[in-house]
Amino acid sequence: MASELDTLPVITTRRDEAQGFLQGLVSKSLGWARKYSLFQYPFVTACCGMEYMTVAAARYDLDRFGAALPRFSPRQADLLIVVGTVNCKQAPILRRVYEQIADPKWVVAFGVCASSGGFYDNYATVQGIDRIVPVDVYIPGCPPRPEQVLDGIMLLQRKIQGQEHKLIDRKPLPVVGQEPTSR
Amino acid sequence: MSKVVIDALVERFPDAVYEAYVGVGGDDCVFVKKERIVDVCRFLKSDPKMLFDMAPYITAVDYLGQEPRFEVVYNLLSLKTNRRVRLRVKVPEQDALVPSVTSLWRGADWFERYCFDMYGIRFSDHPDMRRLFMYDEFVGHPLRKDYPLKGRQPLVEERDVRDIVRGPGPATRD
């Protein structure tokens, strides 16, 4: 159903229009580029890792979705895949790894333990990694089938395409020795 | 399995062992007094007829409500004679201090640290009496029967999430 807003005329200046169009174009292109070059950091802690290997290997082939290369340094990655149970002792490590990934970054909770703690509802286990880091896509299953994982990756790609991307996505850093300018 | 080990222990340590029985699976089981556990273990390890050269598993049990409350269980294996023996040591809660057997079996180190971590039973003369699994900030001993079932103690501050199963509240609640 069309809302009232859809029929209202929107008044923009030419400058706004031009910027909006260009920014939209840049955002779409960057989204397209980013969703097909997911460099992942697999945070593998448990048995789901076997399923992750299957997904990454030739039969299911994560490479088809542009997510081929697992980087074993979070500084080179932009997709954190948390595979398996995370316990309270590991939570600071997970947060540190997440903080080391440069923006833009996304997080996938792989399997039911990472998503919600699974059946480990006890003193030792974090009840879902979203208590530690923000999560973009949850993949349920114990362990999830490779098809489910591919579905999750495609969901993430759709999400990335829909997000807003900018060429320069940060405030300029203050020059050392000068007062930071207020912007 | 025969009662060879039981007979030898009863004959050698009449004042230290009691209530010997043959357990499930045919292993020789015996209760040992806490103060004498190292003597009994040394005999079992070095006697040429016994030669229990391996301690595959040492654990503890919490019999909450009974007195004495805890029990440390030593499972010993002889690779020479392929015999197993189970030594049980009653440990009261007020005096939860057991002589360590790490001087006999180096591998007992982590098992005794495990018993300390999970049950709070300390071992005297242990080279490194620290927690094994839990972090140092953890308060209490999680496998004790009176520890809260879901008593979580998060190391990092947790994000506020909408938990559709448990409802709102911190993760530390029971």
Q: Where are the domains of chain A?
A: 36-159
Q: Is residue B160 part of a domain?
A: no
What DSSP element (H or E) covers A92? helix A91-100
pLDDT band for A183, please (50, 70, 90 cuts). Answer: very low
* Domain range enclosing B45: 4-96
Judged by a CB distance cut-off of 8 A, whether residue A126 touches chain B is yes
Residues 130-149 of A with CB under 8 A from B: 130-134
Q: Would the pLDDT of A5 be above 60?
A: no
Q: Would the pLDDT of A3 be above 70?
A: no
Closest to B103 (Cα-Cα) out of B115, B90, B112, B91: B112
Residues from chain A that touch B156, judged by Cβ atoms under 8 A, are: 91-92, 95, 132
Which CATH code for domain A36-159?
Answer: 3.40.50.12280
Give residue B2's pLDDT: 66
What average pLDDT does chain A have?
Answer: 84
pLDDT-wise least confident of A70-74, B126-130, B132-136, B151-155:
B151-155
Q: Is residue B126 part of a domain?
A: no
Give residue B70's pLDDT: 94
Q: Is residue B35 part of a domain?
A: yes
**Residue B95 vs residues A55, B70, B98, B131, B147: alpha-carbon distances, Å:** 54, 10, 9, 19, 19
Q: Is residue B15 part of a domain?
A: yes
Separation of first and last alpha carbons in chain B: 46
Q: Is residue B51 part of a domain?
A: yes
Closest B-chain CA to A133? B159
Give residue A177's pLDDT: 61
* β partners of residue B90: B71
What is the total count of domains within chain B? 1
Residues from chain B that touch A120, judged by Cβ atoms under 8 A, are: none
**Residue A101 vs residues A43, B106, B132: alpha-carbon distances, Å:** 12, 42, 31
What is the Cα–Cα distance from B68 to B62, expressed in whole angstroms? 10
Q: What is the mean pLDDT of the segment spanning A76-95?
A: 92
Give residue A154's pLDDT: 93
Interface contact flag, A95 B156, Cβ < 8 Å: yes
pTM of the entire predicted model: 0.81
Interface contact flag, A88 B149, Cβ < 8 Å: no
**pLDDT of B61-87, one tens digit each?**
999 998 899 999 999 999 998 889 999
pLDDT band for B174, please (50, 70, 90 cuts). Answer: very low
Give residue A178's pLDDT: 59
Q: Is the dihedral of CA A49, A50, A53, A54 positive or negative?
A: negative
State the nearest Cα–Cα gap between B9 and chain A, in angstroms: 40
Q: What is the mean pLDDT of the segment spanning A85-108?
A: 91
Q: Would the pLDDT of A171 be above 50?
A: yes
CATH number at residue B75: 3.30.460.80
Interface contact flag, A131 B161, Cβ < 8 Å: yes
Residues from chain A that touch B152, judged by Cβ atoms under 8 A, are: 88, 123-125, 127
Judged by a CB distance cut-off of 8 A, whether residue A156 touches chain B is no
pLDDT band for B111, please (50, 70, 90 cuts). Answer: very high
Closest B-chain CA to A95? B156
Q: What is the mean pLDDT of the segment spanning B111-122?
A: 93
Q: What is the mean pLDDT of the segment spanning B29-36?
A: 92
pLDDT more than 70, % of chain A: 81
Residues from chain A that touch B134, judged by Cβ atoms under 8 A, are: 89, 124
pLDDT band for A120, please (50, 70, 90 cuts). Answer: confident
Radius of gyration of chain A (CA): 20
* β partners of residue B80: none
pLDDT band for A166, please (50, 70, 90 cuts). Answer: confident
Q: Give the ipTM.
A: 0.80
Give residue B27's pLDDT: 85
Q: Would the pLDDT of A181 be above 70?
A: no
What is the Cα–Cα distance from B81 to B134, expressed in whole angstroms? 37
Q: What is the mean pLDDT of the segment spanning B106-130?
A: 92
Q: Is residue B103 part of a domain?
A: no
Residues from chain B that touch A107, judged by Cβ atoms under 8 A, are: none
Give residue B168's pLDDT: 60
Give residue B112's pLDDT: 93
